[in-house]
Structure 1
C-alpha cells in the first residue's frame, strides 16, 4: 500500500463574510472566533485546523472550543464537505487490488442501545462475495461502540496497520479496526473529545467523522443506519432524515455510492445490552437464530449494500442472500476466521463460534453479580425504554465519563420479556449484570420506569426499519427518471 491523494481539492470551498487576517497568517483562536460568531470558514482555515489537530499541536481546550462552536453554530454544506475531505486526508487513503474494485463495501450506524449489527453483518457480506474494511469507533455517550464489544473477546486486536488490513482482507475478506495514526488520525482525536464535551449530536461533526473514515477506506458502496427515537442522537424522524440526507450527499460527492436506512431507536435492539452480552447475541444471529429485530436490520442493511454494488438484482434478492449466509453457517465461519486473523487464539475463536452458550460465557466471563427485577403490575408490554437502561448501565461501568477511561465489558442487561407480550405482576422482566459499583435503589427505580405496561391485548411489535434514502445516482433512481 502507498499514500494516495484519494480526493480532488477542486470542489469550491465555503465563503466567509469576514475580512481576511491582515497578516495573511492563519490563527487557531481567530478560526475558533469566526465559527463561534456564526461565520463560515474558508477551506484553508478548515485544513489548518484539521492539520493542527493531526499534529497534536493544539490544547484539548482549543479543540473542545472549536467542537462546541460547530455544535452551536452549525456548518454550511460546503464547510461539511471540506471538513470531511480534510479529516479523510489527515492520514492514508487505503489502496486495494484492482480485482476488488466494486466489491469493497461498508456500513455505519449512528449509534443505539444494543446495536450490535456490524458483528453479524460484516461476515455475512463477505459470505456474499464482498470485501469489508471496516474502520469503526468506540462508544459515544451512552451508546456502545463496535470496538468495545469486540474487545470483550480475549485477544482481539483492533489496532491494525493498512498493510495488516490488506493481508486480513486477502485471507478472510473483512476486518473491523480502529482509526490509527495512519488512518484518519484527526478523527481519532476529535471523536474522543466529542464524548466528553457534549458535542456528540452535532450534524457536521457526525457527518465528518463517519464519512472521513469511509473515504479513507476507499470503498465503492456504503449503507448508513441512521437512528431516530428517544434513545437516538436525533429524536424525531425529521431530524434523522436531515442527518441521513447530509451523509448521503457528502458520500455521493466524494464518489461513494451511499444510501441510508432510517430505523427506530426507542427500545433496545435485540434482547441483550452490554459488550460481552451483545457478542453472545451476535453469535446467535450468525447461527440463524436470535431476535427478529436484529435479523431484520442485518438483512435489510446487507441487502441494500448487495443491491448497491451489483451483487443482487433487487433489494429483496439482496436480503435473501444475507439471510441465507446467516442460516447456512458461512457467515459464522467467516466471523471465526476474522477473530483469528485479528489475534484471537484458535481454540478461543472455536469455543465462541462452535461452542454452547456456557462455553461462550467461560470465554467472555460472566459479571460477578446478576439481579432480576420483577414487573410491579400485570399488563401488556407497550415499550421498554432504552434510554434509562443505557444510562444505568453507563453508570455501572459500561461506558466512559472521561477521555481514555476503561470500561467493564461484563456489565449489561438481558431483557426477559418482549414488546407486545403479556406479563404477570411479580414475573421477572430484566436481568442486570454488574460488579462495582453495585446496583443501587436509585438504579432499580430508574429501570422500573423503563417498562411501560398497559391493559391491552398482546400484539406484534412494529418493524425497526422505517425508510430508505437512496442517492440520486443509484441505478434504480435512474430507471425511475
Structure 2
C-alpha cells in the first residue's frame, strides 16, 4: 500500500490513535494505512503527533515496529545491488554500517575504504550533521572538489569499480520517514525508541544492503545517554534488520569521551587519513578495526586482519580511489580556520574525565555544526584535543585548541568547555573504560 493506492475510507485516524492510547496493538493493515495516509496528507500533522506521543508513552511490539518500518519503506523506492557480480558470475554481498552519532565520530571515513580494500562493496549512504554531532557529508565536503550527490547508476558503477561509496541518500528512500522525523522534532517525540529504530532501519533496509553493522553509542555525547536505552535501541534495530532478511549486528560503544583528538570537519578528515596511513589515535583505530571485522564476517570473510590493511597501504589506496571517483582531490590541502585559541590546563595531575557533550557543543558553536538544516558549516572549524582521560597533564600545557573563521564565536565555545575536564591532582591510577562494551546479534534476541 502506498500513498497512491490506499483507500481513504478503510480506517479512521482517531480510531487508531485511541487504540494505541489505550495500550492496544495496531495491525499491519492499520499501520500501512496510517503511514500512506499521512504521507499523502490525508492524515494531518496533529493526528500523527498524537499517535507518535501514544507510541512514546506506550511502546510497540516487535511485530508492530516491523510493520511500521515496512510501511515507511513502501512509501518510496528500494535500491538493488544484485547486479554486482564477481568475475566468475557470482553475486557480491554488500556491507554497510550505521552509527547513532557522537562527538568526533569520523569512523565512516576510514572504515568504508578499509572494508572495500578486501573486495567488499560498501554502499555508505550518509547525512549531514544537526546539532552537536557532525555529519559525514559535512566532513567529506571539506575535500576540494568532492561531490556528495550521485545518481543510482553512478553509485552502482562506483561500487563495481572502487568497492566504496560514501554519498547522500536520495529523496526517494523512505520519504514517509523524512516527513515524520520533522514532526517528531517539534512534538517532543524524538526519543520514542520504536520510532528511532524504524527511522534508521527503514532507510537502511530500503538501501538494499546484504549486511549491516550498527554502532549504537551511549553516554554524554550520544543521543542515548544511558546504556540501558542504547541496548534497547540496538536490540530493536537488530530485530528489524533480521526480520527483513538483512544480516544485522550491533556494537554498543562508549560516548562519554569524544572519539579521537578532533571534533570538526576538515580536522576529522585529517585524522581519518592518519588512521588510513597506519597511525592515528588508538580509540579511532580500535573502533574502525572492530567494525570492519564485523562487516567482513557478516559477508563471509573470516580470518582477515583489517589492521594489516591499514598498515600495508591497501586501505589508503581504496580511500584515494573513492575520493577521486567523486571528483575529490585526495592530495589537496584541507581548509584551515582563520582564527585559533588555546585553552591551557589550570592544574597538574591525571585527567580523569573529558565530557563529550561539552566538546561537541564547543565545536558546534565554533561553526563546525548547524542549528538548522539550511545552515552552512565552516570546513575548518572545530576543536583539537591535546590530551585525553588517562593522560598526565601539567599546569599551563594546552588542553584544547579552538578553530573558527569567526573570532566572535570563541568566547561562547570557551563557555561550553568550562567544567568539561576533571583532573586528579594526586595523579592516581586511571582505568580506561571499555570502548566496545556489548555486542548484539540475532542469536541474542528472545522475541
- TM-score normalised to the size of structure 1? 0.82
Contact 1:267 1:384 in 2 (8 A): yes
**Range with greater deviation from structure 2 (36-45 or 370-379):** 36-45
Contact 1:179 1:185 in 2 (8 A): no
> In the alignment, which residue of structure 2 is the partner of 1:109?
99
Task: Provide the secondary structure at the position in 2 that maps to 1:99.
Answer: coil
- Report the CA distance between 1:189 and its aligned residue: 3.6
Contact 1:134 1:217 in 2 (8 A): no
> For residues 286 and 271 of structure 1, do their structure 2 counterparts lie closer, same or farther at Cα, with a shift above 3 Å needed?
same
Q: How does 1:246-261 map to 2 (within 5 A)?
A: 246-261=236-251
Q: How does 1:108-187 map to 2 (within 5 A)?
A: 108-187=98-177
- Report the CA distance between 1:384 and its aligned residue: 0.8
- Report the CA distance between 1:241 and its aligned residue: 1.3
> For residues 63 and 374 of structure 1, do their structure 2 counterparts lie closer, same or farther at Cα, with a shift above 3 Å needed?
farther
Deviations 1:253-281 (A, max 9, x none): 11111111111110100110012211111
Asked if 1:205 corresponds to 2:195, the answer is yes
* Aligned counterpart in structure 2 of residue 269 of structure 1, from 249, 259, 262: 259
> For residues 50 and 398 of structure 1, do their structure 2 counterparts lie closer, same or farther at Cα, with a shift above 3 Å needed?
farther
Unaligned runs of 5+ in 1: 6-20, 352-359, 475-481
- Report the CA distance between 1:24 and its aligned residue: 4.1
Distance in 1 between residues matched to 2:411 and 2:173, nearest whole Å? 44
Distance in 1 between residues matched to 2:127 and 2:227, nearest whole Å? 24
Contact 1:196 1:403 in 2 (8 A): no
Task: Provide the secondary structure at the position in 2 that maps to 1:381.
Answer: strand
* Aligned counterpart in structure 2 of residue 415 of structure 1, from 369, 376, 385: 385
> In the alignment, which residue of structure 1 is the partner of 2:441?
470
- Report the CA distance between 1:67 and its aligned residue: 4.5
* Aligned counterpart in structure 2 of residue 451 of structure 1, from 421, 442, 447: 421
> In the alignment, which residue of structure 1 is the partner of 2:278?
288
> For residues 115 and 195 of structure 1, do their structure 2 counterparts lie closer, same or farther at Cα, with a shift above 3 Å needed?
farther
> In the alignment, which residue of structure 2 is the partner of 1:324?
308
Unaligned runs of 5+ in 2: 2-6
- Report the CA distance between 1:169 and its aligned residue: 0.8
Contact 2:350 2:427 in 1 (8 A): yes
Distance in 2 between residues matched to 1:419 and 1:190, nearest whole Å? 39
- Report the CA distance between 1:55 and its aligned residue: 4.8
Q: How does 1:300-379 map to 2 (within 5 A)?
A: 300-312=290-302, 317-318=303-304, 320=305, 322-344=306-328, 348-351=329-332, 360-361=333-334, 365-379=335-349
Distance in 1 between residues matched to 2:443 and 2:92, nearest whole Å? 18
Contact 1:421 1:458 in 2 (8 A): no
Aligned residues: 434
Distance in 2 between residues matched to 1:407 and 1:72, nearest whole Å? 36
Distance in 1 between residues matched to 2:321 and 2:180, nearest whole Å? 32
- Report the CA distance between 1:104 and its aligned residue: 0.7
* Aligned counterpart in structure 1 of residue 79 of structure 2, from 70, 88, 94: 94
Contact 1:120 1:286 in 2 (8 A): yes
What's the RMSD between the two structures over aligned residues? Answer: 2.8
Deviations 1:32-76 (A, max 9, x none): 565566543332333234335555777666665654554344322
> For residues 209 and 97 of structure 1, do their structure 2 counterparts lie closer, same or farther at Cα, with a shift above 3 Å needed?
same
> In the alignment, which residue of structure 1 is the partner of 2:4?
none
- Report the CA distance between 1:386 and its aligned residue: 0.5
- TM-score normalised to the size of structure 2? 0.88
> In the alignment, which residue of structure 1 is the partner of 2:394?
424
> In the alignment, which residue of structure 2 is the partner of 1:215?
205
Distance in 2 between residues matched to 1:290 and 1:150, nearest whole Å? 18
Distance in 1 between residues matched to 2:436 and 2:9, nearest whole Å? 51
> In the alignment, which residue of structure 1 is the partner of 2:224?
234
